[in-house]
Structure 1
Amino acid sequence: MKSHLLDFLRRESGQRRAPMLVAMVLSGLAEGLVIVLANVGANSASEGLTLTRSVLLTVYLIGLTTWVVSLRRALKQSFTASEQALERVKTRLATRLLQADLLYVERQAASGRFSLLSQDTRLVADAVMRGLYCLQSLALFAASSVYMLWKDPVAFGLVALVFVLAIPKLMHNYQQATAETRLSAEREGRFFALFGDLVRGFKEVKLHRPRSDALQAELVERARAAHAPRHHIHRRTVDDLQFSNGIFYVLLAALVFLLPEIWSSRGDTVEQTLTTVLSLMGPLTAFATTLPMLARAEAAVAGLYALEAEIDAAAQDCEAEDDSDPQASDTPTFERLALQGVSFHYTDDAGDVTFCSGPHDLEIRRGELVFIVGGNGSGKSTLLKLLTGLYAPVTGELLLDGQIVDADARQDWRELFSIVFTDFHLFERLHGLDNVDPREVKRWLAVMGLAHKTRFRNGRFTQTSLSTGQRKRLAFIVAMLRDKPVCILDEVAADQDPEFRRRFYRELLPGLRERGTTVIVVSHDDAYFDCADRLIRLQDGRIVA
């Protein structure tokens, strides 16, 4: 049977599986040899340190050394292989995700798809270790069985019968557990997607009892559906343990009570056979208890590769971005940016359109201060994502100084913009601004009234746990430090005190325009609309004025 876990290590770690597996098998055989020699030596304990016992002791020490060295090597190799494999996969996922389509990332983040990544990677790392111990247990089982075949063929035949009966059942349950683990993971993703909806819409849910009750009922249903396969897995695990242990105890009864009655000459060997049989229970029990974890790891590996395939499919323009020159867009410039017949639409899981934006015909001239206004749900955020190239238009073209911007040039287009979205994220470091002047940061902190709240040290702000309005000011500073030709500010003035709002509209925005920056502001503050060179009004996804 093919192991996805071993194939994962081979493909991703770059290390050969054979040395690791051989070392683990050798450690199991060596441990079995040590146990056998200890039993043989115990039978002649009263003879003193004879030549034969000295040879046994020497071989025992060689076997012990072999066990320690091979086990140590196998475990070190497994640690290295699993961590290298996971490091490579996570790095590749992160790299490809940066090339993926924004709409895909938004949908997957909302569904909680990415939240399982950490859990799956740790599960794989733990399973590699447990799997190697399982392999060692099987090697120990084989070594002890060979010793039993030599000492007591009849008892060996009974043990072999137990093995033939137990292993197929365990492997069948293992295959079922792998399939059910994948099913459970899919259903758990649906549960967390709805749970995310609950968190994001908590205010609405609290205000409406019937909605709360219905949502709770659906959460309970999805949780029960997600855990049902796991209940089956756990029940089979208990059954496997009881089966493997129970059949061994039946074997012990046969060896101790029945065989001496049938073959009276076997009475002298019962005690020694009993000791050997008992030593076999540990490896088989370890094998039975490890299989469920290996099944979960197999499903986790399949999930990681499925996620990577999804991200690859979403990375529509990755090849063009990979081939572009990163230095070519260091100092982008323009005279006119335009959307020509650009439209976009959102769809639900069934493919039905839920919201249309556009078609838009819009031109932004260098050095303008433009306000985008409109009610909630009018499509302002979608227009910004189209304008910045974060959403690929369904129809229409982006134009840079009259030239069509194709997929090859889309990243260069994006480099024109710095933006503070209404749902912005503050990173703890100023990534990509390694040479920023601390004095410039200090000046901006003073301008934005944050000098007493946070400082800039070692490439990061000392304090980001601020109020919503203060965090927006900090995000504004980061946008200014990036010094792009176009600065987009989405509701930055919201959550600010009246005095700062006045300074923002009457002083900061005109100051940006005077230094040559094109400024696009999303705003509801109609008292300050006179600050703009132009007003663009949206309604139901269309520019109406």
Structure 2
Amino acid sequence: MGDEPERSLSLRAAARARRRSMGQLTSLVATSVALVWKSGRGLFVLLLALQLTAALALAGQVLAVQAVLSAVLSEVSVGALAPPVLVLAGLSALSLIATGVQGQVQRLLAERVTRSMWRRALIVATGVALRHFETPEFYNRLSRVQTNALTRPYQVTQGLMGMAGGLAASVAVAAALATVSPILLPLVVLGGVPVLLTNRRESRLEFDFALEQTVTVRWREYFTVLQTGRDEAKEVRAFGLSAWLMERFERHYDAYQRDLVGHVRRRTVLTVLGQLGAALVLLVTLLVLVWLIAQGRIGVAGAGAAIVAIRMLATQVQSLFKGVQVVFESGLFLDDLDRFLSLGTAAAEEDRGDEAPSSFRRIVAEDLHFRYPAAETEALRGVSVELRAGEVVALVGENGSGKTTLAKLLAGLYEPDSGAILWDGRDVAEFRPSSLRQRVSVVFQDFVRYAFSAGENIAIGRADAPPDPDRVRAAARAAGAEETIESLPEGFDQLLSRLFPGGRELSGGQWQRLALARSFYRDAPLVILDEPSASLDPRAEHALFSSLRDALRGRTALFISHRFSTVRGADRIYVLHDGLVAESGSHEELMARDGRYAELYRLQAGAFLESGGDRDA
């Protein structure tokens, strides 16, 4: 994260360059309007109609006030006074109704737009290469998108509608005011200029503040998750972390609030200056009105109508310029959003190539090198392995030796920095990445425990097709999970989470069997199992590996394990050390070689050897 300030400065500079280009800002606005239109064109048209109705009602009120005052000053009968009073009351009611309905319609439209933006953001988050998840900048950008940018497209359109409503109302009220005294019009319009100038500066301050607070907000959210997460709850209590976590949470929140106070103070000063400028112009306008009355150029009824019109017009002009501020401010956040969404475009463009074959005879990884972003050393430093159809191949080695990284490369989740992975002689770089991943089934050590039904937890192994109940049951049987699932109150329909009503929970070993069933259901030619027996007891582990070849039904398996007793039956074992293949061969060959594998095997088997157990070493 050392280069984060430089990236923030770069993003801020890019945003300022964007601010100087009205053409680019116009493009952002057009994109936002198009999104809102697509999300709910009927609601959008209704909002515009309500804006126009409210504007015309305001103009009508000015003329109605003048008519009421004229009737009162003329001392007409109550019957003659009633029509203008009724018109004024009706127009006031219409204006209030239009404004109230507009708020509810805006809520509906805002929700539709937000949903559409969430959909686009989630597509990006689930579609970009895994390398992005290794960098803090990606999380910073994702956090800003979640916090600020998802609602901004609607806010741009809302600002435009505010501008449209303010403009329509201003024109309508101005026309009414012009019938009283045209000379007052330019003064009222001029009153919005100070607000416009200060609002532009406020927009820039808001964007810069959001950018600067990204990391602080992320830390605050992280400590919130630690204190509210179900998986974290047991350890928080076991280690008594509540007070410590709360102190960290408070520290980051204090830092945010200190910066927020300064930010709010700066925005408040700008707001006060803008409003003082507007008030000064309004004062001048009212003084001119008083002079016009003193000169006899405006009657009492006209003066009353003028006062109402001036106040209305001043409010609408400020609303107009406030809409300009919303457009400019949101435009800056939309620029940041566009950068994030462009990652999805790049991912879609990268997902090209030939369809990966549905099977293979031989997979060869040649001289693979790979370094995680920002890592100082390579995770893989020239690894070569081979997998033949129908084989069970094992990867063993100490923590950090590169086993899981190699598995991720073979699964198509990462691309090597150099070297090649060949399927029957063809470089997998020629294949469409998503089609390659469809040919591989992976069970990671930290597999996800989905809050779905037992059947759905298995069937999502092939989520691109409707669930097949018979295949689901067969996969559960192959993984040794069928009996456990059948014992649940609702069987395969049982919800597996206590997060929701009616849910049940499984043990760690039971969950692991369910994850295995998911991989078998996928029915891919290559199955990668990362510590597939980590949560199983010795008896269950022995049963799993005894039946593994039958469960695979001719498919190729690559499994990673720290338990050397589980890899003895593998056709070939690769021993990784410090990102390299230290040695390879069958269990018997490696034991005869008396190298690293034999040393690690004896360390694990020592207790059994002393008790007269396995003497193979």
Same fold by TM-score greater than 0.5: yes
Contact 2:368 2:381 (C-alpha < 8 Å) held by counterparts: yes
Structure 2: 5+ residue stretches without partners = 1-21, 227-231, 584-617
SS in 2 for 1:355: coil
Contact 1:373 1:536 (C-alpha < 8 Å) held by counterparts: yes
- Distance in 2 of aligned mates of 1:264 and 1:62: 30
- 1:457-468 aligned at under 5 Å gives the runs 457=493, 463=503, 466-468=506-508
SS in 1 for 2:213: helix
**How far 1:134 sits from its partner (Å)?**
4.6
Q: Which residue of 2 aligns with 1:121?
A: 150
- Distance in 2 of aligned mates of 1:151 and 1:368: 93
Contact 1:131 1:294 (C-alpha < 8 Å) held by counterparts: yes
- Distance in 1 of aligned mates of 2:371 and 2:51: 58
2:464 aligns with one of 432, 446, 456: 432
- 1:527-538 aligned at under 5 Å gives the runs 527-538=565-576
1:35 aligns with one of 40, 61, 81: 61
SS in 1 for 2:464: coil
**How far 1:530 sits from its partner (Å)?**
2.0
SS in 2 for 1:347: coil
Q: Which residue of 2 aligns with 1:254?
A: 287
Cα 1:185/1:421, change in 2 over 3 Å: farther
Cα 1:180/1:543, change in 2 over 3 Å: farther
Q: Which residue of 2 aligns with 1:347?
A: 373
Structure 1 residue 512 corresponds to structure 2 residue 584: no
What is the TM-score when the length of structure 1 is the normalising length? 0.77
Structure 1 residue 543 corresponds to structure 2 residue 581: yes
**How far 1:11 sits from its partner (Å)?**
4.2
Q: Which residue of 2 aligns with 1:183?
A: 208
Cα 1:223/1:40, change in 2 over 3 Å: closer
- Distance in 1 of aligned mates of 2:414 and 2:28: 37
Structure 1 residue 233 corresponds to structure 2 residue 267: yes
Contact 2:36 2:153 (C-alpha < 8 Å) held by counterparts: no
Q: Which residue of 2 aligns with 1:365?
A: 388
SS in 2 for 1:418: strand
Q: Which residue of 2 aligns with 1:136?
A: 165
Structure 1 residue 456 corresponds to structure 2 residue 484: no
- 1:404-423 aligned at under 5 Å gives the runs 404-423=427-446
Cα 1:77/1:230, change in 2 over 3 Å: closer
- 1:183-202 aligned at under 5 Å gives the runs 183-192=208-217, 194=219
**1:79-98 deviation line (CA, Å, top 9, x unaligned):** 66x77766665555555555
Q: Which residue of 2 aligns with 1:298?
A: 331
- Distance in 1 of aligned mates of 2:210 and 2:122: 21
- Distance in 2 of aligned mates of 1:189 and 1:111: 9
- Distance in 2 of aligned mates of 1:4 and 1:185: 23
Structure 1 residue 150 corresponds to structure 2 residue 179: yes
CA RMSD of aligned residues (A): 4.8
- One-letter amino acid of the counterpart of residue 527, structure 1: S
Structure 1: 5+ residue stretches without partners = none
Structure 1 residue 169 corresponds to structure 2 residue 194: yes
Q: Which residue of 1 aligns with 2:588?
A: none
Cα 1:493/1:36, change in 2 over 3 Å: same
Contact 1:415 1:484 (C-alpha < 8 Å) held by counterparts: yes
- Distance in 1 of aligned mates of 2:221 and 2:307: 57
SS in 2 for 1:495: coil
Contact 1:100 1:318 (C-alpha < 8 Å) held by counterparts: no
- Distance in 1 of aligned mates of 2:47 and 2:474: 58
| Equivalent residue pairs, number | 524
- Distance in 1 of aligned mates of 2:127 and 2:352: 9
Cα 1:114/1:136, change in 2 over 3 Å: same
1:476 aligns with one of 516, 519, 523: 516
What is the TM-score when the length of structure 2 is the normalising length? 0.69
**How far 1:418 sits from its partner (Å)?**
0.6
2:530 aligns with one of 490, 495, 504: 490
Cα 1:452/1:315, change in 2 over 3 Å: same
Report percent identity of matched pairs.
20
SS in 2 for 1:145: helix
**How far 1:336 sits from its partner (Å)?**
1.1
**How far 1:378 sits from its partner (Å)?**
1.8
Contact 2:59 2:172 (C-alpha < 8 Å) held by counterparts: yes
SS in 1 for 2:484: coil
**How far 1:376 sits from its partner (Å)?**
2.0
SS in 2 for 1:391: coil
**How far 1:135 sits from its partner (Å)?**
3.0
SS in 2 for 1:392: coil
Cα 1:233/1:299, change in 2 over 3 Å: farther
- 1:101-112 aligned at under 5 Å gives the runs 101-107=129-135, 111-112=139-140
Contact 1:372 1:380 (C-alpha < 8 Å) held by counterparts: yes
Cα 1:216/1:394, change in 2 over 3 Å: farther
**How far 1:337 sits from its partner (Å)?**
0.9
**How far 1:307 sits from its partner (Å)?**
0.7
- One-letter amino acid of the counterpart of residue 178, structure 1: S
- 1:67-78 aligned at under 5 Å gives the runs none
Deviates more, 1:271-280 or 1:463-472: 463-472
- One-letter amino acid of the counterpart of residue 405, structure 1: V
- Distance in 2 of aligned mates of 1:210 and 1:426: 28
- One-letter amino acid of the counterpart of residue 275, structure 1: V
